[in-house]
Amino acid sequence: MSARPWYREPMLALVIGLPAAAVVAGFATLGLALGGDTGDPRVRRVAQTQTANLAPDHAAARLALGADLALDGNGAVTLRFVDAAPDETLLRLELRHGTDARRDCSARLVHAGGGVFVGRLETVRSAGPYNAELAPEDGDWRLVGRLEAQSPRVRLEAALADPR
């Protein structure tokens, strides 16, 4: 029986390799935990609790706002308010991809008259579902909706009912 050098011993891979892999994985997990983004700017973390600003949702419900959003394949956006149109002349539309923040896109919409706003997406919409959020530049109110994969239309409504 010939003696193998210590570095050719198969058990050495288990004795040194497994703990080394665990240490590397631990640092990778720590890096992900410390460098993570909250994703949603409406959510604020304080100590161990999360708080969300729901005032824009209540304001949209109080104003009875609702809108139909239509997108075409070239990125043109048409927004038509259902009943009452807001006084703003400039609105901000955010489309947040359901799984990949790099696919998010947005548009600035200008008032075209008669409760209709038009604009164009800054980037082309990718495949997959999107969460749509419409708000004025000052953020006083907010309408939300879910734009399903490849769907050209969505109804935007207040996320909450009027608290009164």
Radius of gyration of the chain (CA): 25
Query: According to the model, what pLDDT value does residue 82 have?
Result: 87
pTM: 0.65
Q: Which residue ranges make up each domain of the chain?
A: 6-35, 54-157
Query: According to the model, what pLDDT value does residue 110 have?
Result: 92
Cα separation, 119 vs 123, in Å, equals 12
pLDDT above 60: residue 33: yes
Query: According to the model, what pLDDT value does residue 41 have?
Result: 62
Listed in sequence order, the residues at least 6 apart from 73 whose beta carbon sits closer than 8 Å to its beta carbon are: none
In this structure, whether the domain defined by 54-157 belongs to CATH 2.60.40 is answered with yes
pLDDT above 60: residue 106: yes
| HSE of 60, CA atoms in CB hemisphere, 13 A | 23
Query: According to the model, what pLDDT value does residue 46 have?
Result: 64
What value, to the nearest 5°, has the Cα angle with vertex 44 and ends 147 and 100? Answer: 35
Read off the pLDDT of residues 8-32 as tens digits, 9 standing for 90 and up: 888 888 889 899 999 999 999 998 8
Quick one: residue 140, left, alpha or beta (phi over 0 = left, psi -120 to 50 = alpha)?
alpha
Query: According to the model, what pLDDT value does residue 59 have?
Result: 85
Taking residues 41-45, what's their average pLDDT? 63
Read off the pLDDT of residues 136-164 as tens digits, 9 standing for 90 and up: 988 889 999 998 888 889 999 988 876 55
Taking residues 23-50, what's their average pLDDT? 75
Cα separation, 45 vs 139, in Å, equals 20
Q: Is there a contact between 117 and 136 (Cβ–Cβ < 8 Å)?
A: no
